[in-house]
Amino acid sequence: MLSAEQSLLFVIDVQGNLYESMHDKLFLLENLKKLIPGVMVFGVPVILTEQIKIGATIPEIAGLMSGVQPFTKGEFSCLGNEKIMDHLKGLKKRQVIVSGIETHVCVYQTVMDLLERGYEVHLVADAVSSRTRGNREIALERMVQEGAKLTSTEIVLFELAKTAEDPRFRDIFKIVK
């Protein structure tokens, strides 16, 4: 199970026109708006990325992450970027929660690289998307076959809380209801 002390969250490329072309984009946004503040309640660090040439992170997401500076990348895999990789190593976390777009491109390649490097990957199925449902589904299946753990926004948040007696649970309950 996830541990707040060992986890970090990737929010990959939720940007401008790319976001606008996502399959079921409002469902994606609804879950990201729970996931991001939810993990922050537990002090889980967030790595925000932006793919070059497609604009800034959408305001609804950027506004949730005060003080989190995005990493700009040209690579599809976040781990192909030296600055992101150095930051990831510096955090010294072994559990990586992954969200963002597109499931079959940047999310997929990042997850494959994380698994190859021995990270425990928790892929938030309701917080990733692609332009087509088919590409999303195929990518999810491939990542699970390779060892990623499929999860959901609420599973992540309740795993981090572990108990209703956690003083932060009230904040999580407000976020998910």
Quick: pLDDT tens for 29-63: 999 999 999 999 999 999 999 999 999 999 999 99
Catalytic residue among 34, 73, 93, 113: 73
* Nearest one of 147, 73, 141, 57 to 106, comparing CA atoms: 73
What confidence score (pLDDT) does residue 51 get?
A: 96
Average pLDDT score over residue span 74-90: 97
What confidence score (pLDDT) does residue 177 get?
A: 86
Respond yes or no: is residue 13 known to be catalytic.
yes
Averaged pLDDT score across all residues of the chain: 96
Catalytic residue among 13, 34, 93, 113: 13
pTM higher than 0.85 for the full model? yes
CB 133 within 8 A of CB 23: yes
Neighbours of 142 (CB within 10 A): 15
What confidence score (pLDDT) does residue 102 get?
A: 96
Neighbours of 149 (CB within 10 A): 15
Catalytic residue among 34, 93, 106, 113: 106
What confidence score (pLDDT) does residue 107 get?
A: 98
* Nearest one of 128, 160, 166, 168 to 144, comparing CA atoms: 128
Cα–Cα distances (Å) from 163 to 4, 30, 35, 172, in that order, read 13, 24, 18, 11
Instruction: Report pLDDT digits (tens) over 103-122.
Output: 999 999 999 999 999 999 99
Residue with tokens 């007696």: 165
Per-residue confidence at 152, pLDDT binned at 50, 70, 90? very high
CA 121 to chain centroid, in Å, comes to 10
Spatial distance between the Cα atoms of 45 and 177, rounded to a whole number of angstroms: 23
| pLDDT above 90 for 76 | yes
